[in-house]
Amino acid sequence: MIDTLEFYNYLISKKLDTFYGVPDSLLKDICACITKNSIKEKHIITANEGNAIGLAAGKYLATKIPAVVYLQNSGLGNTANPLISLADEDVYKIPMLLLVGWRGEPNTKDEPQHVKQGKITLEMLEVMGIKHIILTDDFKEQIDYAYNYMMETSKTIALIVKKNTFSKFSFEKNKNVFSLTREKALETILTKISKESLIVSTTGKTSREVFEIREKNSDSHERDFLTVGSMGHTSSIALGISLSTNKKVYCIDGDGSLLMHLGSLAITSKNAKSNYKYIVINNGAHESVGGQPTVAFDLDFKNIFVGLGFKHFFEVSSTEEINQKFDLFDSSELAVMVVNVKEGSRDDLGRPTTSPQENKKQLMEFISKSKVE
């Protein structure tokens, strides 16, 4: 196991002191260490992983020093375009050090959405012409090697991080002012949604909680689409469904997920019918992967949503407010409800026990069954 602070300090000693990225559960401790020790200008938690590659390119152009870009391997797809068409040796040839959390590593147990990505992670990097090193306790030699490689070749290199690579590192999170939990908010919202309607919930613990609330209430899962992977695309999946059914479709997004592909919401507002309902559970954090902050609490969501073309905006922070405002939200066209919650979740929160394909089958049967009726 690598001492997290020692790893961080070694990077700093090589002048690799600028960090951009999207947090990952396998990188939780190193992300916490970076957040605690880096000044604002040297660490930016980005909207998506491509955003981080762009920043790293800019940093190199201005300083000749590569930046460190951290990401879960799920985010490799988001990096592919700027890595291939910007940083690649056939284009601008801009080096950066990637720190990639290896979810779904072959022969380890992981969730279904990580299995394929885990299998093809090294291959994807190879196809993109990116050398990779599996990070081990010999991290100092590995960082030396990566540093010299970047300096000599001006190419990008990746350090691959397996599960349990870094030692525990905790940081004092900025507590937000809200007292409602995400699970309680979801529980309240779910009671308000008719049994004829559909739910598309976002990546991470939100979908896990939706699943568990259904189990607790002995409800079926046939009305829910759990977006276990493809972070940031929940609103688009919901839009796609809503355009082809008359049922109401409630998208339950997270702040990190909504920020990841914010532009999609402009397309949503222009194309959604009155059956599309958008709910954001806002805890100002990437809570599912360690609680690193997003910029959500610094934003003016009302103006953002109105500017994007949504017609009605509701903001709530308690179960009472959800109960008071839900009916109006529900009957208003192109409406958004932002639900402010505190961070955190139950320690014993489970995971869906049905597979993604079972979930898909049930949902599709539910949609088609009710079309005939």
Ligand X SMILES: Cc1ncc(C[n+]2csc(CCOP(=O)(O)OP(=O)(O)O)c2C)c(N)n1
CB of 230 to ligand X, least distance (A): 7
Burial 34-60 (b: 16+ CB within 10 A, else e): bbebbeeebbbbbbbbbbbbbbbbebb
3-class secondary-structure state, position 346? coil
Residue 11, token pair as written in the block: 């990077």
Residue 293 sits in the site that holds ligand X (CB under 6 A)? no
Among 256, 269, 301, 363, indicate the residue that binds ligand X (CB under 6 A): 256
308 closest CA partner among 272, 282, 283: 272
Q: How many residues bind ligand X (CB under 6 A)?
A: 25
Among 4, 74, 188, 227, indicate the residue that binds ligand X (CB under 6 A): 74
Among 11, 22, 159, 180, indicate the residue that binds ligand X (CB under 6 A): 22
Residue 286 sits in the site that holds ligand X (CB under 6 A)? yes
Residue 224 sits in the site that holds ligand X (CB under 6 A)? no
Alpha carbon distance 244, 107 (integer Å): 40
Going by the DSSP 8-state scheme, the letter that residue 166 receives in this structure is B
Residue 50 sits in the site that holds ligand X (CB under 6 A)? no
Among 43, 205, 208, 248, indicate the residue that binds ligand X (CB under 6 A): 205
Residue 203 sits in the site that holds ligand X (CB under 6 A)? yes
Residue 288 sits in the site that holds ligand X (CB under 6 A)? yes
Are 299 and 274 spatial neighbours (Cβ–Cβ below 8 Å)? no
Residue 117 sits in the site that holds ligand X (CB under 6 A)? no
Residue 183 sits in the site that holds ligand X (CB under 6 A)? no
Residue nearest to ligand X according to CB distances in the complex = 254
Nearer to ligand X by Cβ, of 188 and 257: the residue is 257
Which pairing describes strands 97-101 and 131-134: parallel, antiparallel, or unpaired? Answer: unpaired
Among 7, 143, 255, 363, indicate the residue that binds ligand X (CB under 6 A): 255
Give the count of beta carbons closer than 10 Å to the beta carbon of residue 19: 27
Alpha carbon distance 365, 220 (integer Å): 13
For the chain, the straight-line distance linking the first and the last C-alpha, in angstroms and rounded, comes to: 59
Among 29, 105, 224, 287, indicate the residue that binds ligand X (CB under 6 A): 287
Residues that bind ligand X (CB under 6 A): 22-24, 72, 74-75, 78, 182, 202-206, 231, 254-257, 283, 285-289, 294
